[in-house]
Structure 1
Amino acid sequence: MAEEKADRLKNLIAGAKEEKACQWIAGILQFMPEDLQQKCRLVHRNKGATLMRVGDEAQSVYLLIDGEVKIMNELPRGIIYALGNLRAPGILGENEVLTGIPYYRGTVMCETDCKFIYLSKNDFLLWMKESHDALYRVTIQIIEKNLSQVSRDRVFLFSTGEKRLAYLLARYFEQKAEAGICVLHIPRSKLADEIGFCMKTVDRCIAKFKQLDMIGRHGAKITITKAQYTKLREYFG
């Protein structure tokens, strides 16, 4: 029986590629009762797939164990407001389920190929009620995610398009830079959605940032060095 439980945990953890995600998922699953572990499912979603939408019935919670998702709010008249990105490890759908909100309040789209551990609403609530250790770890994730969102909202609320884009590009550098440089292949339409301005504003800002040596531009690619990242932070700071 103990061997079966160990094998089940290994299979669930195996979906996580990065060490941080492996450690987090192994740490939290050790506090999940065996009968609930048997109900967990590994779920794969391809890049561009939608995991949940605003207004869908909140019946599931997902543990993001590999990949990166974008969390968005769809406002009236089709306006999309990007709340931010979440990279594994993380939890999705937990706020609605824990607070009894019947419908998801955000849309979640996969920025990369992603893997999740699926739990039904009732099983997740039972787990949180039975394990104080698991609840504690989930609470930390919720706080970290909400603090990041509050910080972003403060920057965006009264900022110009230029400052919003500078903030966004700096965040991309923090998340994606390798060996001191970040290379972005992002459509202008996506940048426009994420800062809540039109594509003309994005074009104007990119041209200005390039002229000020805050970014590099090579065809459709945007590049950001460590020195340029510092300039971006100073610009919106």
Structure 2
Amino acid sequence: MDIFSALPLQKRRELELLFQNCTEEVKYYMTLLEIEAGQTFIKAGTDCTHIFIILSGKVTGVEWPMHERPYPFKDFGPGDFFGEIECFAGLTQYRISIITSTRCRVLSIPADVYMEWMRMDVDALFLRAQENMRRLITQTAEARKYLFMEGKDRLMVHLIRKYEQHMPPPRLLELRQTRPQLAEEIGFSIKTLNRSIQKLEELGLIWLQRGKIVLPREGYLRMKDHIEHHING
């Protein structure tokens, strides 16, 4: 299908295989959306009425726990589905909020139409069940690993996410958040955050300008290499 032409090759093949026998009803009701950066297009706690598939751009998943303080936990991109797991689990509301980090192109399918297709197409159902199980297992492992990281490594992960939300990649990224805002986003105390900032500054990965963190591209690349080879490796 032409709508998948902008996806990375592997993702395009996966979605073309998935949709090769989709019903005419799915084709009729699916809609292409263009969503600007900074928009919340899924809000946790609202009715799960549509399945969304990211075709281009990046989005951030945001948890809204009981104390009502948002926690951005993961970035997603082309080929990722939202609302599907809730439907498979029989849940009537979205469990997380999704905010666009960049301008995005999104495919929207009514949830009832999508699920009727899944009930009729056993091959498509198997593909999506397999992918969702893989995603859940991976995310659980990532969450467990993140929980046991030391402070400076958790700060690195957060700074890497912030840097990668900007396209094209900047030469320098200055974070606008205050220390309390940063601490809340990462799940740190202010004391732990300050200590972690000091360690990254001593390593030459960041510097401070008017109290705000400045991350150069070289620092980003070094942090990315550290996380991939010493934490995720």
Q: What interval of TM-score do these two structures reach, taking the shorter chain for normalisation? A: 0.7 to 0.9
- Relative to 1, partners in 2 of residues 1:27 and 1:81: Cα closer, same or farther, differing over 3 Å? same
- Kindly indicate whether residue 158 of structure 2 is the aligned counterpart of residue 168 of structure 1: yes
TM-score normalised by structure 1 residue count: 0.77
- Kindly indicate whether residue 191 of structure 2 is the aligned counterpart of residue 195 of structure 1: no
Cα distance in 2 for residues equivalent to 1:156 and 1:125: 34
CA RMSD of aligned residues (A): 3.3
1:37-186 equivalences under 5 Å are: 37-169=27-159, 184=173, 186=175
- Percentage of identical aligned residues: 21
Per mean C-alpha deviation after superposition, the further-off stretch among 46-55 and 219-228 is: 219-228
3-state DSSP of counterpart to 1:64 = strand
Contact 1:56/1:104 (8 A) holds in 2: yes
3-state DSSP of counterpart to 1:42 = strand
Q: CA deviation at 1:206?
A: 2.6
3-state DSSP of counterpart to 1:76 = coil
- Relative to 1, partners in 2 of residues 1:135 and 1:216: Cα closer, same or farther, differing over 3 Å? same
Letter in 2 for 1:133: D
Equivalent residue number for residue 203 of structure 2: 212
Gaps of 5+ in 2: none
Letter in 1 for 2:55: I
Q: CA deviation at 1:226?
A: 4.2
Q: CA deviation at 1:160?
A: 4.7
Cα distance in 1 for residues equivalent to 2:55 and 2:29: 17
Cα distance in 1 for residues equivalent to 2:35 and 2:146: 30
- Relative to 1, partners in 2 of residues 1:118 and 1:174: Cα closer, same or farther, differing over 3 Å? closer
Contact 1:80/1:196 (8 A) holds in 2: no
Letter in 1 for 2:49: Q
Cα distance in 2 for residues equivalent to 1:141 and 1:151: 16
Cα distance in 2 for residues equivalent to 1:97 and 1:53: 15
Contact 2:51/2:114 (8 A) holds in 1: yes
- Relative to 1, partners in 2 of residues 1:229 and 1:121: Cα closer, same or farther, differing over 3 Å? closer
- Residue by residue over 1:17-50, the C-alpha shift from the partner in whole angstroms, topping out at 9 and shown as x without a partner, is 5444433332322131223211110112110000
- Relative to 1, partners in 2 of residues 1:196 and 1:182: Cα closer, same or farther, differing over 3 Å? farther
